[in-house]
Chain A
Amino acid sequence: MPFKAKGDYIIVVEHINKTFANGVKAVVDFTTKIHRGEVVVIIGPSGSGKSTFLRCLNGLEDIDNGSIIIDDIPLNDNEKNRLEIRKEVGMVFQQFNLFPHMIVLDNVNLAQRRVRNKSKAEANAMSMDLLKKVGITDKASNYPSQLSGGQQQRVAIARALAMMPKVMLFDEATSALDPEMIGEVLDVMKDLAREGMTMICVTHEMGFAREVSDRVIFMEDGKIVEVGTAEHFFTAPTEDRTKLFLSQIL
């Protein structure tokens, strides 16, 4: 795919705060707007609130205040809105979190059948397409435990895509993988980015960031410290904290 057209804002986050019950302020006055089709990479030291920020976007964590609007739907106490947003926002976890009691095909089918109310045949057809896309057709009737980590994560991506989400969140999708499997998962993510999916990826894979991201956000202590292109972070980071962090991961 050549150059992708950037659309309107699909995610609008304004001044959100998240404090945990133990008093930890994980996200502090966070504001950002994300274009339709944009790929954003979030980097930052451990405990800086990257996961928490992602989890706020699909309602896995409740925010204290501020506002999150996704595809014109405000994420608030309204259960219908929350459900709508959960349907439109796919999430891929560091630990895959496949359903171990279901075969791969059923993992991908589940939400289509139960949330989208598709027929079994329809769901199967779509699932097989998605599994083909992530390169796992031959394992469709295996249980997750029979797959390698890289394969499991690719299934998890297919599972999230099955809901035809408008946004995909990736929380350190490659961090739990053996080095030789990181590439296969990143390739799937890159394809997705090139197809125009809106993506927010927490990852320290700076090669990935350089190849497909439009914007990199560096955060620390729950706050945005520096924003720029991947190129900017490689060549001319301005903040000292950014430089220090980059010197540790590059």
Chain B
Amino acid sequence: MYRRKTRITMLDVVVTTLLILLTAFIVYRLTMKLNYKWNWSIIPRYLYFFDESEGRWRANVLMQGFYTTLRLTIWSTLLAMFFGFIAGILRTTPRLFNRLVGRSYVELIRNVPPLVLIFIFYFFVSAQIMPLLGVEDFIRSRSPGTQKILGYLFSAPELFTAFLSGMFTIAVFQGAYITEIVRAGIQSLSRGQWEASYALGLSWRQQMTYIILPQALKRVLPPLANEFINTLKYSAIVSVISIQELTFQAMQVMAATYVTIEVWLTVTAIYLVMCMLLSLGVQWLEHRLARSEA
């Protein structure tokens, strides 16, 4: 493969120097001139604390929030893939009605601000539908063991409804973007693949299952993995409907302690590290797929 040589120009040096100077200046102003009492010592104990009664270290609110964010991200992404694949396939079927359904979903979601969508879902799904389904009662009636497992996988019983509506909201939202990825993946295949499998006598469903989806899936794997990162970032937005994920917990800690900047810097660092690790994973995946293409 052709690789361009890394070369450092005069301009790079100048820009880098300026950036360093600017950073130094900001840090200087922050530490010397800012009317703000730094109090970093308080942060660690909101991450982990020593539980005297149990005699072991336990995650405190921030880390609990982080775990909720992770759980929320994983389940929402899976659900979003489910929505996205169904709608994405619908968008490529020959039937006009199917395409219309898929298209409406995407257009509806993409042309409404996410925050507004969340409120809609919250007041509709969480406040009306969930109690109707009796999810919370159902969870509470399970054995303690089951409740514990459910708590591990999803959320504690008292927060279950909120968790589900948060998950559902993000999934519906992200599903619209995954729909477009799936559609693009399917449409990126040459018409010849459809025609050859058609000529062999395969039904539409068989063409999809054996010919089109396996190839499309391989092509869209990196963008799909990327949506995982997007879901993680978007999950912060459900803090507005009191889902106790990382951002929500940060607001709680901030309200209780007034160590604003430290809390937000910590939270930023957690998101940043998570997303960067995932992003490295995606890059690795892309690399692998590119190599196996041959």
Q: A residues bordering B, Cβ < 8 Å?
A: 58, 60, 83, 86-87, 89-91, 93, 95, 97-101, 110-111, 114-115, 145-146, 156, 159-160, 163
A60, A87, A111, A159, most chain B CB atoms within 10 A: A111
Question: Are B198 and A86 touching (Cβ within 8 A)?
Answer: yes
- 1/0 contact trace for B184-208 toward A, CB 8 Å? 0000001011011111111100100
Q: How far is the CA of A163 from the CA of B266 in the complex (A)?
A: 64
Pick the residue among A90, A95, A101, A163 that contacts B192 (CB under 8 A): A95
Which residues B199-224 have CB closer than 8 A to chain A? 199-203, 206, 210-211, 214-215, 218
Q: How far is the CA of A146 from the CA of B293 in the complex (A)?
A: 11
Given A60-B195, A93-B192, A97-B192, verify A111-B215 contact (CB < 8 Å): no
CB distance from B244 to the nearest CB of A (A): 44
Pick the residue among B190, B210, B215 that contacts A110 (CB under 8 A): B210
Knowing that A86-B201, A99-B196, A163-B201 touch, tell me 13 more A-B residue pairs with CB under 8 angstroms.
A60-B198, A60-B199, A86-B199, A86-B200, A93-B195, A95-B190, A99-B193, A111-B201, A114-B210, A115-B200, A146-B294, A159-B196, A159-B200
Question: Are B200 and A163 touching (Cβ within 8 A)?
Answer: yes
Given A101-B215, A145-B294, verify A110-B200 contact (CB < 8 Å): yes
Question: Are A58 and B199 touching (Cβ within 8 A)?
Answer: yes
Contacts of B199 in A (CB 8 A): 58, 60, 86, 89-91, 160
Contacts of B215 in A (CB 8 A): 99-101
Contacts of B201 in A (CB 8 A): 83, 86-87, 111, 115, 163
Q: How far is the CA of A110 from the CA of B211 in the complex (A)?
A: 10
CB distance from A100 to the nearest CB of B (A): 7
- 1/0 contact trace for B114-135 toward A, CB 8 Å? 0000000000000000000000
Interface of B is mostly: helix
Interface of A is mostly: mixed
CB distance from B192 to the nearest CB of A (A): 4
CB distance from A105 to the nearest CB of B (A): 15
Q: How far is the CA of A89 from the CA of B198 in the complex (A)?
A: 11
Q: How far is the CA of A249 from the CA of B195 in the complex (A)?
A: 29
Question: Are A93 and B202 touching (Cβ within 8 A)?
Answer: no
Contacts of B197 in A (CB 8 A): 99, 110
Q: How far is the CA of A7 from the CA of B212 in the complex (A)?
A: 39
Question: Are A97 and B198 touching (Cβ within 8 A)?
Answer: no
Contacts of A163 in B (CB 8 A): 200-201
Question: Are B214 and A115 touching (Cβ within 8 A)?
Answer: no
**Nearest-neighbor residue (CB-CB) of A115 within chain B:** B201
Given A115-B200, A115-B201, A115-B202, verify A101-B195 contact (CB < 8 Å): no
Pick the residue among A58, A87, A101 that contacts B214 (CB under 8 A): A101
CB distance from A113 to the nearest CB of B (A): 9
Given A58-B199, A86-B199, verify A97-B294 contact (CB < 8 Å): no
Contacts of B195 in A (CB 8 A): 60, 91, 93, 97
Q: How far is the CA of A86 from the CA of B294 in the complex (A)?
A: 33
CB pairs A–B below 8 angstroms (14 shown): A58-B199, A60-B199, A83-B201, A86-B198, A86-B201, A91-B196, A95-B190, A97-B196, A98-B196, A101-B218, A110-B197, A111-B200, A111-B201, A115-B200
Contacts of A100 in B (CB 8 A): 215
CB distance from B214 to the nearest CB of A (A): 5
**Nearest-neighbor residue (CB-CB) of A83 within chain B:** B201
Q: How far is the CA of A115 from the CA of B205 in the complex (A)?
A: 12
Contacts of B211 in A (CB 8 A): 99
**Nearest-neighbor residue (CB-CB) of B192 within chain A:** A97
CB distance from B208 to the nearest CB of A (A): 12
